[in-house]
Amino acid sequence: MDMHETAVHPHADGVRPLSLRAVAALASTERFTRGREIYCAGDEGVAWRVCLGAVRLDQQIEGETRFAGVAVAGDIIGAEVLMFGRYTYTARALSEVTLEPWSSSMEEVAPGKLMHMLAGIERRSVDSLALRSGSAERRIGQLLGLIGRGLALGRSKVRVALPALRDIAEITGLTIETVSRTIKSLRGNGELEMIGERRAREVWVESGPALADDRACAFGVKTDR
Amino acid sequence: MDMHETAVHPHADGVRPLSLRAVAALASTERFTRGREIYCAGDEGVAWRVCLGAVRLDQQIEGETRFAGVAVAGDIIGAEVLMFGRYTYTARALSEVTLEPWSSSMEEVAPGKLMHMLAGIERRSVDSLALRSGSAERRIGQLLGLIGRGLALGRSKVRVALPALRDIAEITGLTIETVSRTIKSLRGNGELEMIGERRAREVWVESGPALADDRACAFGVKTDR
DNA sequence: CGACACCTTGAGTTAATTCAAACTAGGTGG
DNA sequence: CCACCTAGTTTGAATTAACTCAAGGTGTCG
């Protein structure tokens, strides 16, 4: 019903109708299913903007893969190609993911756009760090919140596909078993509303503060909440 | 004796003599002692380049402070001011720190310089994540290695001031007690060569691969090590 | 169907935490 | 100068959250 509201009054909650530019971009988007590899470290390619979903980034170093961060809707991924010509990290879809090409050469990127991306990367860094802080409950909650935030589009609650336990475990630095048990207990406490069983589960996530608020708060500007 | 070699053959190990520009920059550097606050989230100011030492970055959110990363010699800190006009994070010196002003406005930054900073931030992100991965021993080793790397200047071993246990604990996500015990055991195993007692201790750190190698390795280019 | 990847659950173990107390160096003020 | 205070560090004992190992359940795909 919340979604219905949004559909009837598209300007409510800060959701704007699609601009011509957005429609054009939509035409060239690429979609990936959960678990699919998006690109591999060392490959050539372009930078992407995540339109929808969450992406896991890993550093491939001496055979073993090391977690390098999570990117969500709105983030730019693969910007390293502008600098090095090749991807530094491997990207895999944590959920259904939609991407649009962002930029293929450094020259065509406006400085403002670069700075914006830069800010995004900083935020991603801090968010990724939060995924390794505190108890198992806190970490998993943080991850789900992060995934949900990018998908919220102004809604207060979002339904997100639960990533594979293996992914959650590697991202949070926990074991698969601990993740399984923690999710079970969160569900038992009523702290996690869940749909479906085993594979193909979805959870309802409070989307938290919008990104704009976040940023304002981050650099010390008072907001009138 | 390693240092002596370097002094006699300055081009060995990739260490170059100071350029005129470097000398000019040196004139306007600022120094901070261990534990000193460099700038505070919300303040206005300029971006800095870390010449020497290690800096701790924290997000100040609702009273509590959240670890946001470690910057070492070579990194740019406070670049957010170019975008937002104010610092997003609080910076504090983990060791003796020398800074030079980097840039005060977005317009005067060349795109290439921006991209360079981008690479630095990405690396910082991965390094920070490594500080939260694995056992207490591994995390603390990682932190000391990171601090040492920026100070190495081509030498294979560096002497670095041990940060306060409180800082180490907050950065690695451990408790002060665990850090104290772990350092004691590392020292006992001979894995950590240490000078001095209690406060004002220093440790010898293997500086690991140079930054250039790191970067090459990171994006899949084979090096002939 | 069988093979496989993924998820769940239990029991025992361990690394790290918590709580508590003592120790140390450095600074302050009488 | 000494007594005192404080922040930082060390150490011990008890506790616990998370890990390991092991086995069984469940869905998917060839």
Average pLDDT over residues B26-48: 88
Written as one string, the DSSP assignment of B43-68 is ----EEEEEESEEEEEEEETTEEEEE
Report yes or no: B129 and A129 within 8 Å, Cβ to Cβ: yes
> Residues A49-106: pLDDT tens digits?
999 889 999 998 877 789 999 999 989 999 888 888 899 999 999 988 999 998 767 7
Average pLDDT over residues A37-59: 93
Average pLDDT over residues A35-58: 93
Report yes or no: B184 and B148 within 8 Å, Cβ to Cβ: no
- Of the candidates B79, B88, B109, the beta carbon closest to that of A218 is on B88
Cβ-based contacts (< 7 Å) between B 115-174 and strand C: 135-137, 173-174
| CA distance, residue A47 to nearest chain B CA (Å) | 13
Interface residue of A64, A124, A132 to substitute, partner B, most B CBs within 10 Å: A132
- A29: tokens are 């988007």
Alpha-carbon span A135 to A137, nearest angstrom: 5
Strand C atom within 7 Å of A168 CB: no
Closest CA to A100 of A52, A167, A41, A61: A52
B125–A124 C-beta distance less than 8 A: yes
Q: Looking at residue A61, what is its pLDDT?
A: 80
Strand D atom within 7 Å of A180 CB: no
Q: Which residue has the tokens 């060995």?
A: B12
How many other CB atoms sit within 10 Å of the CB of residue A177? 10
Closest CA to B45 of B55, B25, B30: B30
> Residues A112-154: pLDDT tens digits?
777 778 878 888 999 999 999 999 999 999 999 999 887 777 7
pTM: 0.81
In chain A the first and final C-alpha atoms are separated, in Å, by 25
Average pLDDT over residues B107-122: 77
